[in-house]
Amino acid sequence: MTNSYMTKVLFVCLGNICRSPTAHALFQAEVNKANLQGRIFVDSAGTGDWHVGGQPDKRAQKTALEYGYDMSHLRARQVSVSDFSEFDYILGMDQQNLFDLKALKPSSYQGVLGLFLTESGIKEPDEVPDPYYGGELHFNHVIQLVEQAVRGLLDRIRKEHKL
Ligand code: 4NP
């Protein structure tokens, strides 16, 4: 259940089965730790539609579980123009995601649209690289980048929304 007083954050990657569900699960855990789950709503989506309705990639789930995060309840969906009426922060994982999101963005959008790492205060790298065609090392790299970034993102949102 969400309400209009919630600050809403959407993480976006290509398939919504590797990087953005990882960001979704880790940021949700950070929000819960701060007891802000009634104030911040978290979601994720993909620019592509190949995996709609599916669970996160098994390799991403396994890596997340090793770090203590269960993401088996998440299901992939495709980003849509209506997300721009809903979300205060729309954060792409890489430059291609951001390019695709900019193409969808209504000119009236007032929220923050940018790269997840950059908007979270990380100087470099600016992209969370796509691990889909990679191995275990790539999935570990994703989760390590995401773990660093979610802390900075929550600090920023707390400041900007006085939470
Ligand atoms: P994600 O990874 O964008 O981090 O979810 C991918 C998932 C699926 C595909 C590509 C990247 N794919 O080509 O199906």
Q: Residues 27-33: what's their mean pLDDT?
A: 98
Q: Does residue 19 carry a catalytic annotation?
A: yes
Q: Does residue 18 carry a catalytic annotation?
A: no
Task: Give the ligand 1 atom nearest the CA of 14.
Answer: 3
What's the sign of the alpha-carbon dihedral 79, 23, 152, 9?
Answer: positive
Looking at residue 124, its pLDDT comes to 97
- Which pLDDT tens digit goes with each residue over 59-110? 999 999 999 999 999 999 999 999 999 999 999 999 999 999 999 999 999 9
Looking at residue 9, its pLDDT comes to 98
Residue with tokens 């691990």, as numbered in its chain: 131
Query: Does the structure show a pLDDT above 90 at 22?
Result: yes
Looking at residue 1, its pLDDT comes to 53
Q: Residues 44-50: what's their mean pLDDT?
A: 98
**Average pLDDT of every residue of the chain:** 97
Q: Does residue 13 carry a catalytic annotation?
A: yes
Nearest CA to ligand 1 atom 3: 14
CB of 159 closer than 8 Å to CB of 150: no
Neighbours of 137 (CB within 10 A): 9
Is 76 touching ligand 1 by the criterion CB < 6 Å? Answer: no
SS3 30: helix
CA of 151 to the centre of ligand 1 (A): 24
